A = this chain, B = another copy of it.
Amino acid sequence: MNDLINSLFSHRTIRKYSAQPVSDGLLEELLNAGCRSSTTGNMQVYSIIVTRDEARKRALLPLHFNQKMVTEAQVLLTFCADFNRFVKWCILRDAIPGYDNFLSFMTAAIDAIIATQTVCIAAEARGLGICYLGTTTYMAHKIIEVLGLPRGVIPVTSITLGWPDENPEQPDRLPLEAIVHKENYSDYTDESIAEFYRFKEQREDSAQFIKENNKQTLAQVFTDIRYKKEDNLYFSHTFLQVLKDQGFMNQ
């Protein structure tokens, strides 16, 4: 199983794809692998929307902030928390469902993400490349319209999928001891933060980001440019409204 472990360790996000088709058979294998993953109480409270159609990709493109891999990748997959199917089954079988609440949304969202990551790992094992689109939660209200998602269904993440046309360097990661806590959470001091982020801060591309964006520190590139408070507040409001509109806030 060294191949598998090596594949996990050689993960890199792919943003440039070749025009080579991804066959229906291969896609089906990846989706089937995803559906073998763990799921709460074997309820499988998620759905996967496959986008191959050019016009629909173009409709989704601005919702993913015009990241060009959305139209260039052969396949776009949108993973949704979905209690609609399960609730319809309950009603058909004289059972009274109680899944229109926040806890049920979390359960379904977790199911959806677990399936997503399995599909990604299966894809990479077959030589395909993937890229997660964090824009899915930002623009969920609009994605719901384009994909025709009914009440009970909320998109939580998307991936682009295709044959890689680039071989980028792996990004840096924090040292494992920055992420992992033994037995209880040992909170960070100024000294440990400085130590854990030193490698990231000393990278050449970090200096480049700071310069390009006319900032003093790398952290400011995140707070002032990439993941701004005003955007987070706005998207928090719209996503909470989606939870209400799709029927998950009746607790």
Smallest CB–CB gap between A80 and chain B, Å?
8
Contact B137 A37 (CB under 8 A): no
CB under 8 Å from chain B, chain A span 115-159: 116-118, 120-122, 125-127, 130-132, 134, 137-138, 147-150, 153, 156-157
| Chain A interface size range | 35 or more
Contact B173 A106 (CB under 8 A): no
For this chain, the copies found in one complex come to 2
Contact A90 B179 (CB under 8 A): no
Contact A101 B217 (CB under 8 A): no
A222 at interface by CB-CB < 8 Å: yes
Contact B40 A185 (CB under 8 A): no
Residues of B within 8 A of A233 (CB): 98, 101, 103, 251
In the bound complex, what is the Cα–Cα distance between A52 and B184 (angstroms)?
11
Contact with B along A174-210 (1 / 0, CB 8 A): 1010111111110110100110110000000000000
A122 is contacted by which of B8, B109, B116, B240 (Cβ under 8 Å)?
B8
Residues of B within 8 A of A107 (CB): 134, 137
Q: Other CB < 8 Å A-B pairs besides A43-B227, A52-B182, 4 of them?
A: A1-B127, A95-B224, A98-B232, A102-B240
4 A-B pairs with least C-beta separation = A98-B229, A236-B251, A95-B219, A93-B219
